[in-house]
Amino acid sequence: MSARKRPEKIRCDACPVMCFIAEGKIGACDRYANLDGKIIRCDPLTMLDKRLEEGGQITPFLKENWDGSLVNDKDVFITAVGAGTTYPDYKPAPFIVSRQYDDADFVTVVSEAIFSYCSCKIKIDTDRHLGAEAAIIRAKGEIVGHVMTSEYGSQMLSLGGVDHLTGGSKTEGRVTCDTLLRLFNREAVELNIEGGVDVIVQSGKAPIVNGVAEARMRVGCGSAAIGMFAAGWQGLVDEVVVIDDHITGVVSEHQAGKVIDWPATGIKIIGRRSTPGRYFQVAQPGMGWGGTDIKDPLAILGAWNAKKGARAGLSMLMVSTTGENAAYFVLDDQLVALEQPMPDALQATVDLIAENCEPALCTVMFMGGAGGSLRSGVTANPVKLTRSVQAFKTTVTCGGQKAYVWPGGGITIMVDVKDMPEGSFGYVPTPAIVAPLEFTVLRSDYKALGGHDEAIRDLRDVLEHGGEYGADMRAVAPKGSA
């Protein structure tokens, strides 16, 4: 009986892993497959209709679905999503496309670049304290990043980077890569912050902190809230304290109160006084009032001083910087603050604070160093591309979204993933992230860069003949690859 013949495998050179892929199967990256003995890209080449504001769409262009009509260069932008890679970077990028825009001839060079040097920067708009600066962040038990310096009303996280992708254990690298990939493709990811909280992060969504979805980003610090709303409180209440993790404000002492002749109340705040009506360190950071660990707002008050204006019947509003926490108090004969029902007029001012808060939101930014040899897919003289980008002669986009280019050496880019085409990012098991990268430059400047002029094609040719990784620009993986 003859031995069963095994299907012949062919080697994929789209990344350093160099998978051997059997007929009808997909490589380890889920992006390249063996179809009829040829390596193809499994996903379609994606183009953007620039008339999105008029109802246009992000379109995966497939040869079999193209009706052969002329395509308006001004309205269509070719992305690198589904384009394929330049790896091992000795060859021109998969698509170098000429485009006519008004009277100018442009070239767009597209490639799916492999990034070991990449990270995810996350801005979380919330008043909650998520964790101390520099605290370790874990995903699935592995260290994947750290807490960055907080910004005004936002907590900042940094995940990934080459040290986590390749500098630790294999498990750490795999988990880091998976975490980044899911975040960049706008999926929800749970992160555990050492000494802090468990938070679920997803691009364009509210954070979920310890199982509770956040709703608001603070209107400002306590001092800012006093400045914005002092006039609205005058005549309704004798004192207002706005509790905040950064600066807690007291209206009777604050300059905003002084300029409208707000009388002193004899209040005593336990904290480090910065300037009149502005207090640091009234409590520790936490999940309570105003991003502090306070559950009872009266805990930040010392004894009232009758010689400085304290009296029986004096009223006080204590409120957080989101309006989420608020309470109304009146001093009794012993100058002890007793909580009372909130007057409707004061509740309206609390509601105004809440109204002026912005929604809690997660912003996920891809950041990477577009250097190394991938530039040789654009030009035979890579440093000229770097200099052209730094001189703003060459525009860098990721999936059609304009990237911020950091000043200084190299091509270090950052882009919000929110509006990129679905599934823009991939991975290779080295591990590294694969991101779409487009360089757009005047054709005359492209020639001056030493660009691969012989590889330039027009948009119609791209639609008609596809590219190196499959003429059909497949929308689905080959049959039997599941």
Site of tokens 């691969």: 452
Tell me, what's the pLDDT at 62? 58
Q: Is 320 helix (H, G, I), strand (E, B) or coil?
A: strand
- pLDDT bin (cut points 50, 70, 90) of residue 37 is confident
Task: Please report which confidence band the pLDDT of residue 182 belongs to, taking 50, 70 and 90 as the band edges.
Answer: very high
Using pLDDT thresholds of 50, 70 and 90, give the confidence band for residue 36. confident
Instruction: Give dist(CA 432, CA 422) in Å, integer.
Output: 19
In the DSSP assignment, the letter for residue 244 is -
For residue 71, give every residue at least 6 positions away whose Cβ sits within 8 Å of its Cβ, in sequence order, or none.
459, 460, 463
Contact 212, 289 (CB under 8 A): no
Alpha-carbon distances of 6 from 9, 22, 36, 313, 479, rounded to whole Å: 9, 9, 15, 91, 18
The whole-number pLDDT of residue 298 equals 97
Give residue 459's region: left, alpha or beta (phi > 0; psi -120 to 50): alpha
Instruction: Give me the chain's average pLDDT, please.
Output: 89
pLDDT digit string, tens, across residues 418-449: 989 999 999 999 999 999 999 999 999 999 99
Show the DSSP H helices in 155-221 as ranges.
162-166, 170-184
* Nearest C-alpha neighbor of 205 from the set 186, 219, 184, 178: 186
Q: What is the pTM of this model?
A: 0.89
Tokens of 83: 């384009």
Q: How far is CA 413 from CA 279, 418, 434, 440, in A?
A: 39, 16, 14, 15
The whole-number pLDDT of residue 103 equals 79
Query: Considering only 67-71, 123-127, 155-159, which range has the smallest mean pLDDT?
Result: 67-71
Tell me if residue 339 falls in helix, strand or coil. Answer: strand
* Of the listed ranges 86-100, 343-357, 461-475, the one predicted with least confidence: 461-475
Query: Mapping DSSP to helix (H, G, I), strand (E, B) and coil, where does residue 69 land?
Result: coil
Which of the given ranges, 34-43, 44-53, 467-476, has the highest pLDDT on average?
34-43
- pLDDT category of residue 478 using cuts at 50, 70 and 90: very low
pLDDT, tens digit (0-9, with 9 covering 90-100), for 248-260: 999 999 999 999 9
